[in-house]
Chain A
Amino acid sequence: MNDRILLGHGGGGRLTQQLIQEEILSRFGAGPLQTLPDAASLILKDGRIRFSTDSFVVHPLEFPGGNIGDLAVHGTVNDLAVSGSHPRWLSLGMILEEGLPLATLRRVLDAIQRAAHACGVIIATGDTKVVRRGQCDGLYLNTAGIGEAIPELSLGLDRINVGDRILVSGTLGDHGMAVLSVREGLRIQNGPVSDTRSVQRLVTAIAPLADAIRFMRDPTRGGLATTLNDMVLGQPFGMFIREKSLPLAPESIALAEMLGLDLLHVASEGCLALACAREVADSVLATWRSLPEGAGAREIGWVTDQAGRVILETAIGGQRIIDVPSGELLPRIC
């Protein structure tokens, strides 16, 4: 096989077959993909499903802590998880640029395989296209996923009450800062590491507290600031967040300070933000902290009656609004 992707790999002929056999089926061929049907045939246990899709155009393809492959698995798995479901199946769409080193593709596929295995999801269907050099930036991925709803978890913004607590499961903004640290022109050593990982276990672990869990979301693009503002938009409540309580990694703080960025605006890819009843906040924290991916969990604030406003008490005791970022902040981080 060539050591680079050729247009012929997408032509549907012998090269395509070779690519599918050697690179795709060798990794994902044990399940519904085995006979390469036009559509996967899946059997649900029962009840409702969650269905989500996400596209990935991160640049560069590889960054401290992961690559576009595990990011694409975790991105969709986490969207399914925070909507209260067990992720089961993913589709994998790949757009490859002519000339992409096969070694890069293999590292990405290996990461997808590892991540899917760790998350317990099956790559059930997929598609590969090759475009001319210059028409895409190495490799773009799309994953869509189906999860089986966890019946006891009923989540919704309408369930949030004044006095509820706001929790996050880990340090904020590490993914965005890790990607930024390896972008052109920035030569950062020992810098931030992406938190790309599944939040599935964090969700299932707190399912027994379901009645008191109001709402959760993973603060990806736009960071925690965007997630919190989305939560209060048009609602009769607001939030009060304490800067001192925010879990932040020193490496990310250092780089964000250097570049003049607010970590509240920067994406995480393995973190949960959650609103829950005050009485269970400590239980959620204890449960999360018993898992490695929840070791950094903190209570960061509470729900107020100031409709639509997210207020931050700053480190020095001042107050300000937390607003959503405007325009181009970090180009293409997911």
Chain B
Amino acid sequence: MNFIDGFRRMEAAQHFRTTLADHGALLAKEGRSVQLMEVCGSHTMAIARFGIRAFLPPNVTLVSGPGCPVCVTDPGYIDTAIALAEQGTLILTFGDMARVPGSRTTLEATRAAGGRIEICYSPQTALEQAQTHPDTAVVFLAVGFETTVAPIMAMLDHAIRSGIGNLSLLTAFKRIPPALEALITDPGVKIDGLLCPAHVSAIIGADAYRPYAETHGVACVVAGFEPLDILYGLHGLTRQLVDHHPWVENQYNRVVKPEGNRQAQRIIERYLEPCDASWRGLGEIPASGLQLRHAFTRYDAHHRFGMTPRTGRPNPRCQCGEVLKGKMTPSQCPLFGNPCHPDHPLGPCMVSSEGSCAAGFKYAPGGETP
């Protein structure tokens, strides 16, 4: 069965080019210019990779939101991870974190200097490493939104049940809904419609967005990651705006249920509780993080190794915060391309494969659509 080609058909895409133009014209008749935000980093990357901005009429703009977990992680977190590696701990991390600048250096440079830092694709690898090296303290860099939180908690659940004592998590989990709430209510940010994340929604459910539509009047569409998913999502958002009828349309119902994934929610709830969290660019947002509950603090690397959470110093010229709020496009940042470049990133948006600056640079150096 082919799940790829069917979602990338040129003829269907051209149909959406027409309907988007029609919606744009109807909005223009009312003198309206609208701003849509794709929340999720995977959407950002797909939009750039498939050249989707070229399908939008001039009065519909699409900005990138805070949905790249690497991008919003505070530099102080990287500093703590580096300190742990320098103490001789074996660090396991998803690849994107390796090159994110902390206050003074990166995990990649720490590894080159002898730190034990390994890249993995699955949290399961951390569990296996802890089993293989019972005398080594293994720390997994537990960064991510709800989508990633669930499998990491399943891994921890397995570790606890198997009596593995040498594994802990350095958590910087983030929750999407409080961040969206903060953005939508920020008077300096104008968002008419949200292209809601696909996989986060699979966990939290489409109903999680109802307050944004019902209370704040923001159009919401839950869309998948394939190019036709995204075009259909933009079609849905502009349709809602034309109709002046914001609601939560779940177009990704082949994966996302209104109530989400109850089993994943249960395992998250068993081990984690909400906490205030610091987002790079957005600042401290109440209850927007998740931390291990008191009963499980021995699996919390901060607690186990006596690390006080650090507040890092991002590069003072870095504009990632403005980019993450959608107030600035990557190419409007004075550092974009020079000196901030994927080979020597100054800010996290240029590092992560899901970062909007990296997407902008990778697929359209100069920031323009070719």
Contacts and interface: CB of A to CB of B under 8 A. Distances in A.
Do A and B bind?
yes
Interface in B96-110: 98-99, 108
B58 interface: no
User: Which size class do A's interface residues fall under?
Assistant: 20 to 34
Given A311-B370, A328-B95, A319 B125 contact: no
B13 A317 contact: yes
Given A184-B125, A323-B362, A323-B363, A318 B14 contact: no
Interface stretch (B116-124, B193-201, B233-241, B249-257): B116-124
Contact of B51 (A250, A260, A319, A331): A319
B52 A318 contact: yes
Interface residues of B, number: 43
A331 B45 CA distance: 22
A320 B51 contact: yes
B370 A320 contact: yes
Contacts of A185: 120-122, 124-125, 128
Interface of B: 2, 4, 8-10, 12-14, 17, 42, 45, 48-55, 95, 98-99, 108, 119-122, 124-125, 128, 227-228, 231, 342-343, 353, 361-365, 369-370
B98 A315 contact: no
Nearest to B96: A260
Contacts of B342: 326-327
A244 interface: yes
A42 interface: no
Given A316-B9, A318-B52, A327 B343 contact: yes
Contacts of B51: 312, 314, 316, 318-320
Which of B53, B54, B128, B343 has the most chain A CB atoms closer than 10 A to its own CB? B54
B231 A316 contact: yes
Contacts of A328: 95, 98-99, 108, 119
A320 B227 contact: no
A59 interface: no
Interface in A297-328: 309, 311-312, 314-321, 323, 326-328
Contact of A316 (B50, B98, B119, B343): B50
Interface in A216-271: 244, 250, 253-254, 257, 259-260, 262
14 contacts: A184-B125, A260-B45, A262-B49, A309-B370, A314-B227, A315-B8, A315-B50, A319-B370, A321-B365, A321-B370, A323-B363, A323-B365, A327-B108, A331-B119
Given A244-B10, A317-B14, A323-B362, 20 more contacts: A185-B120, A262-B49, A312-B51, A314-B50, A314-B227, A316-B9, A316-B12, A316-B13, A316-B50, A316-B228, A317-B10, A318-B13, A318-B52, A319-B51, A320-B369, A321-B370, A323-B361, A327-B99, A328-B95, A328-B108
A197 B50 CA distance: 32
B240 to A, nearest CB: 23
A1 interface: no
A325 B319 CA distance: 23
A253 to B, nearest CB: 6
Contacts of A257: 4
Contact of A186 (B50, B121, B227): B121
Nearest to A326: B342
Contacts of A254: 4
Contacts of B50: 314-316, 318, 320
A321 B363 contact: yes
A326 B344 CA distance: 9
Contacts of A262: 49
